[in-house]
Amino acid sequence: MSDTFSAKRFVLLLKKTIAERPMQTIGVMVLWLLMSLILYVAAKKLSGFGAAQNLTFIWGLAGGEFFISSFMFGYFSTNANGSSYLTLPVSFLEKWLCAILIAGILYPIIFLLFFHGIDTAFVAAYHNSLDKTSVFYQQQYESVYTFSLNGMVAQKVYSLFLAFGGAMLTGSLYFNKIALIKTGISLTLLFLIIFGVNWLMASTLFQNINDAGPYDHVTLAVGKETGTLILPTNLEHNFHTGIDFVMPVVLWFLPLLRLREKEF
């Protein structure tokens, strides 16, 4: 099948994917939304609104994307399923776009709407429960507010979402069996290696290191105080641009190349 695109074929593939694997698409999304709701309620009771909002947003968006993406190309656990998927009368481009639409567009939109809805509802319920005659009413009211989808935490989670989603889509095509576990282990090992090598390199240059972030900063203990060394602005900007944008783009496009390799 050539890499041409047909809207009719694409819609049929999307319907087929959802109809044949409802538990791996709709079912998993619903389960993750319910788990996010439970986490929000539990974290709110234990640690307050701020922790509940941050934890739920990270868990639901980045964690959910990683989990859901593992099912998008989960056809290669057996040779029969893999061969059947590769011989579908659709192009590898349409197969890739189908996965991108479900994992990269539909799920985040659904989650963001769901999260904002429950967050707004719980915050409104808290505000309505306050005693308006209390001298602390204004302070209590302003201490709890809805999570900002454009804030600093949200921006960092969006980067995690892109990185985790791309890594899992790629991993599911390179690890035919238990791709979720293998990709998770691979990312963990990569993370440990990068931070371990960075720490060893920093240790050869500095003493009394408290913290060291790869290509980001080194925190040193100076007596009872601490000091932080950071990269020059230009280098820091280039590094974070690569991590936040270039790397996710590469990871999201690698499955397209891998699908083409498998078909040929």
- Residuewise pLDDT in 10s, the chain (264 residues): 455 788 889 999 999 888 888 877 888 999 999 999 999 999 999 999 999 999 999 999 999 999 999 988 888 777 787 788 888 888 889 999 999 999 999 999 999 999 999 999 999 999 999 998 888 899 999 999 999 999 999 999 999 999 999 999 999 998 888 889 999 999 999 989 988 888 888 888 887 788 877 777 788 887 777 888 787 788 878 888 888 889 999 999 999 998 888 776
Report if residue 1 sits inside a domain: no
Structural domain containing residue 119: 7-263
Report if residue 2 sits inside a domain: no
If you ran DSSP here, which 8-state letter would residue 147 be given? P
Q: In total, how many domains does the chain have? A: 1
Report if residue 237 sits inside a domain: yes
Report if residue 101 sits inside a domain: yes
Report if residue 253 sits inside a domain: yes
Q: What's the pTM value of the predicted model, to 2 decimals?
A: 0.88
Report if residue 54 sits inside a domain: yes
Find the angle CA(140)-CA(144)-CA(146) to the nearest 5 degrees: 155
C-alpha dist (Å) from residue 252 to 65, 101, 102, 132, 134: 13, 12, 13, 51, 53
Closest CA to 32 of 6, 2, 69: 69
Report if residue 57 sits inside a domain: yes
Report if residue 138 sits inside a domain: yes
Distance CA 111, CA 97 (A): 20
CA R_g for the chain: 22
C-alpha dist (Å) from residue 229 to 174, 201, 206: 39, 14, 11
Distance CA 12, CA 26 (A): 17
